[in-house]
Structure 1
Amino acid sequence: MKPTTQKILLLLFTGVALSLSYTPRQYWRTLKSASKEWKIINKKDLRYGINKLYESKCVRKSKNKDGTVTIIITDKGKLKALTYHFERMAIEKKNWDGKWRIIGFDVPEKVRWGRDALRDKIKKLGFYELQKSVFIFPYNCKNEIDFIIEFFEIRKYVRFGILETIDNERHLKEIFKLT
């Protein structure tokens, strides 16, 4: 799928993201960034991208009584958009609030692929491995972790917590360059 077509799919998926926004601030930030991105795509590429999405059954068209057409993202399109969003995911590293985010998991062998994918993704995001299935990170990442564990359908096997202190804090501060 071409980058423009991927962008169109992600922008259509923004409507889903808006409905999942927890705060008005998140809602407006998502909406503002989406409107900027729509303006960047030229009309020819937009038409081509939507047609490609339609052919691949990622969107469907619905004709309205007034003659306009509404583009609706399908379940297949939502899944594809989640995949693209997942690949581009990053955690914003704002000022450290002095708290540690810890993730522990005990995923059974029958869903090993989910465990391995979770471990791989959180390592790529910059988490530090304390033990084989316990990772730590200094920045707020609750939404991203929720997204990842929902994406892999392993919520019941994963625990997330926030620590005020940890005995090897000085070592962790060095690892995350917080000193």
Structure 2
Amino acid sequence: MAYWYNASNSLESVSYMVKIINNKKKRKIRSPLKRKALLLLMSGLALGLTHSSRTQKYIFKNLVREWKNIDRQYLYRIIHDFKYERLVDYRESKDGTVKIVLTEKGRNKALSFKIDEMKIKKPMRWDKKWRVVMFDIPEKRRRERDAIREKLKNLGFHELQKSVFVYPFSCRDEIDFIVEYFQIRNCVRYGELANLTNGAELKLHFGLK
């Protein structure tokens, strides 16, 4: 017995399946509460679950305020989604409780949220110092180079010249985070200067006195 199939229909089906798979890979977390949950887990605020309703009430009662601000049922649904997407893993203890921990994929996702929401706090008074960020990132890592340049601009840095940026306020922690996130520690230099030759122009640019 011979079996016949329509080649064009088969190709369309394959194309459709590939599109579905790609959409799943590119799936983004837009829910603010889901973002918050991932960031809380990354910051070390533990979350435990259990099958026992009595123990469950005890765990929820003793959760830190940040977790309590998320509706309990919605929180369980969030964790279930995270598990399905392999963003978290479960570690069961001897007493039957389950600790929720971030996977490497979940940590990277949380880091991406943190860098997207990053802002530099401006002090009441300027300390008269300039923060300078310089980088020399090879062409093979052009994507990271373009990303860090765009991020510095979004944070308010002024580009003195190609790959040299300046900012008037303390930002060492933020720069360290960006460098670690893009894994370009050996390509970036950070310094603080009391004087720059175009200081007057920079003061005008940043609205400083």
Please state which band the TM-score falls in when normalised by the shorter chain: 0.7 to 0.9
Give the superposition deviation at 1:38.
Answer: 2.0
Is this contact kept in 2: 1:105–1:134, CA < 8 A? yes
Q: Which residue of 2 aligns with 1:65?
A: 94
| TM-score normalized with structure 2 length | 0.74
**How far apart, CA to CA, are the structure 2 residues paired with 1:79 and 1:167?**
40
2:115 matched to 1:86? Answer: yes
- What is the match of residue 143 of structure 1? 173
TM-score, normalising length from structure 1? Answer: 0.85
Q: 1:127 aligns with which of 149, 157, 165?
A: 157
Secondary structure at 2:44 match in 1: helix
Q: For 2:176 and 2:95, how far apart are their aligned partners in 1?
A: 41
In 2, Cα distance between equivalents of 1:36 and 1:85: 20
Counterpart position of 1:169? 199
User: How many pairs does the alignment contain?
Assistant: 161
The one-letter amino acid of 1:58's match is L
Give unpaired runs (5+ residues) of structure 1.
Answer: 17-34
SS at match of 1:160: strand
Structure-2 residue corresponding to 1:98 = 128
1:155 aligns to what? 185
* Counterpart residue number, 2:41: 12
Deviation at 1:36, TM superposition (A): 4.3
Match of 1:76 among 94, 105, 116: 105
Asked whether the equivalents of residues 127 and 135 of structure 1 are also in contact (C-alpha less than 8 Å), the reply is yes
RMSD: 1.3
* Structure 1 residues 36 and 100, CA gap change in structure 2 (3 angstroms): farther
Looking at structure 2, the residues matched to 155 and 37 of structure 1 have their Cα atoms a distance apart, in angstroms, of 32
Partner Cα distance (2:128, 2:92) in 1: 53
Q: Which amino acid counterpart does residue 75 of structure 1 have in structure 2? A: E
Q: Which runs of 5+ in 2 are unaligned?
A: 1-28, 46-63
SS of equivalent to 1:15: coil
Match of 1:53 among 74, 79, 82: 82
* Aligned amino acid, residue 198 of structure 2: N
Query: Sequence identity, in percent?
Result: 47
Question: What do residues 126-165 of structure 1 show as CA deviations (whole Å, max 9, x unaligned)?
Answer: 0001001110001111111111111111111111100011
**Bigger CA radius of gyration:** 2
CA distance, structure 1, for counterparts of residue 74 and residue 110 of structure 2: 18
- 1:46-76 CA distance string (max 9 Å, x none): 1111111111111111221112111111111
Kept after mapping to 2: 8 A contact 1:4/1:45: no
The letter of the residue matching 2:173 is N
**Aligned-partner Cα distance in 2 for 1:53–1:6:** 11
Q: Which moved more, 1:37-46 or 1:96-105?
A: 37-46
